[in-house]
Amino acid sequence: MVIQSTAPINKAKTGTRRSNFFFCLSCLLCIALATACSTYSKPDVSLVSDALLTNEDEQMLWQKSEQEQLAFENNGLIYPDPELEDYLNQVVAKLRPQSVPEDLVIRVKVIKNAYLDAFTYPNGMIYIHTGLLARMENEDQLAAVLAHELIHCTQRHALRVFRRYRDQPAFLTAVQHAMLKTKGLQEMARYLGASGAMAAISGYTRELEAEADLLGIELMTAAGYNAKEAFALFDYMISEIEQEGLEEPFFFGSHPSVRQRVDNLQNLPDPVYLKERPVIKNRKLYFAKLGQLFLDNAGLDIRLGRFQAAMRGIEKFLQIKPDDSRAFFLLGEIYRQQGQAIDTHMALKNYNRAISLDPDYVAPHKAIGLIHYKNGHHALAKKFFESCLQLSPNAPDKAYIQGYLRQCTLGEEG
């Protein structure tokens, strides 16, 4: 049986029109659903003063959360940095209200993911993405996000949503599945589980998110942080999402979600955050604790082709470690992969700096070889490719390098 590929092209415009129609319809329905969700008026559970886990449904929710976290963490998604985790947990401890029962252990872990997000499981486990941490400038901004997440947990938002919808589980599952289809996150949602997917991707109801904004600001202010920094962070995120046309799949990376955070903060009835007060900030400490994360996340941003975001991450890292060869190599990669003529010069400059800091670092040798090879400077390219194989005779990309060397030899002979 011989099969020829079908040409989808003639259908493209019709398909797009249909997509637009369904997109508009989806938007209207989303609004309808969100409005339905936001008609919620009064919490049907007592809040933090209640003893935890006295109710069967909360016990079940915690057990489910633990299972979901186990599956999630066993899949290499966690960014392993115990010192950073300690620091994040110290910030959470500063924010934690005294009224929270002692048996609610709140912990923070970092997820290796360049997208902007943070989310909380009902049992007190907060996850925050490297992408969001890398965008922050100081501890106040970190406190703003952690306080928001902490409120989801202390006010038992997951339990409240669960109780509201427990008689309609099919409804909730169907909404989640439908929403996840738009994001291309089906598999990720399975890893996160029901609680995690709701917290990380769709967010809670609009009213519960607003409550997390309001009480979060109070929490951070009470802990001595400057609530204005919450604005600064969300404003920065909005401008980055707009300028770079980011379309992110998670809650904190979605333009409407971040815009809603800013609107909620602006509409606070008592602007406690505007009062002058001594602030913590801790910018230097924040940079020192996050150092390596800035660079690692920049590597993820480069993979995503988000070169400006990556550049900013590397610049932050270089403020702490100005002589790091990998940082200069990654800068070189940003210039080379953007591929403009002027960028080639900047790429070479950064690769050479990386080599001067660490002469045995193979990657910049190869990158320089590639630039010369592309420009037809075969003798020069050959020199760099040969040094790659001398430095790393069994490099995983050996077959490619040997191919370039053969072509260089032919080029020289020709």
Partner 1 sequence: MKKYIWIILFLFAAGCAACTHTGGISKPASYSFTIDIPEGWRKIDNNRYLFVTKESPFLQYIMVQNRPIDRSFRNTKKKMKREMFPEEAAQIIIDELISDQNLVNLRILDNTPATIKGHAGFKILYTYRDSEGEVYKTLYYGFIKEDTFFNLRFTAADQVYFKRDVGDFRNILNTFQIVENEAA
Binding stretches for partner 1 (CB under 8 A): 1-13, 15-16, 18-19, 22-23, 25-26, 29-30, 32-33, 71, 75-77, 113-115, 171, 174-175, 177-179, 181-182, 184-188, 190-191, 249, 300, 302-306, 337, 339, 370, 374, 396-397, 399-400, 403
Measuring CA to CA, which residue among 63, 216, 84, 53 is closest to residue 148? 216
Whether residue 114 contacts residue 306, with contact meaning beta carbons closer than 8 Å, is answered with yes
Nearest approach, Cβ of 80 to partner 1 (angstroms)?
Answer: 15
Whether residue 252 contacts residue 117, with contact meaning beta carbons closer than 8 Å, is answered with yes
**Given the complex with partner 1, which of 111 and 230 has the nearer CB atom?**
111
Q: Which amino acid is at 294?
A: F
Helices 283-303, 139-154: axis angle to 10 degrees equals: 80
Give dist(CA 244, CA 229) in Å, integer. Answer: 22
**Given the complex with partner 1, which of 209 and 333 has the nearer CB atom?**
333
Nearest approach, Cβ of 26 to partner 1 (angstroms)?
Answer: 3
Residue 74 has phi, psi (to 5 degrees) of: -80, 5
**Given the complex with partner 1, which of 236 and 400 has the nearer CB atom?**
400
**Given the complex with partner 1, which of 131 and 216 has the nearer CB atom?**
131
Nearest approach, Cβ of 19 to partner 1 (angstroms)?
Answer: 5
Return the CA Rg of the chain: 25
**Given the complex with partner 1, which of 14 and 46 has the nearer CB atom?**
14
**Given the complex with partner 1, which of 271 and 305 has the nearer CB atom?**
305
**Given the complex with partner 1, which of 361 and 400 has the nearer CB atom?**
400
Nearest approach, Cβ of 403 to partner 1 (angstroms)?
Answer: 5
Nearest approach, Cβ of 342 to partner 1 (angstroms)?
Answer: 17
Give dist(CA 326, CA 333) in Å, integer. Answer: 10
Token pair belonging to 207: 């009213």
Nearest approach, Cβ of 321 to partner 1 (angstroms)?
Answer: 24
Between vectors from CA 9 to CA 5 and to CA 14, what angle results, nearest 5°?
A: 130
Helix (H/G/I), strand (E/B), else coil: 249: coil
Q: Which amino acid is at 194?
A: A
Residue 396 is classified by DSSP as T
CA dist 51 → 34, 61, 218, 335 (Å): 31, 15, 23, 56
**Given the complex with partner 1, which of 115 and 121 has the nearer CB atom?**
115
Nearest approach, Cβ of 155 to partner 1 (angstroms)?
Answer: 27
Give dist(CA 318, CA 190) in Å, integer. Answer: 38
| Cβ neighbours of residue 141 closer than 8 Å, sequence gap 6 or more | 229, 230, 232, 233
Nearest approach, Cβ of 146 to partner 1 (angstroms)?
Answer: 23
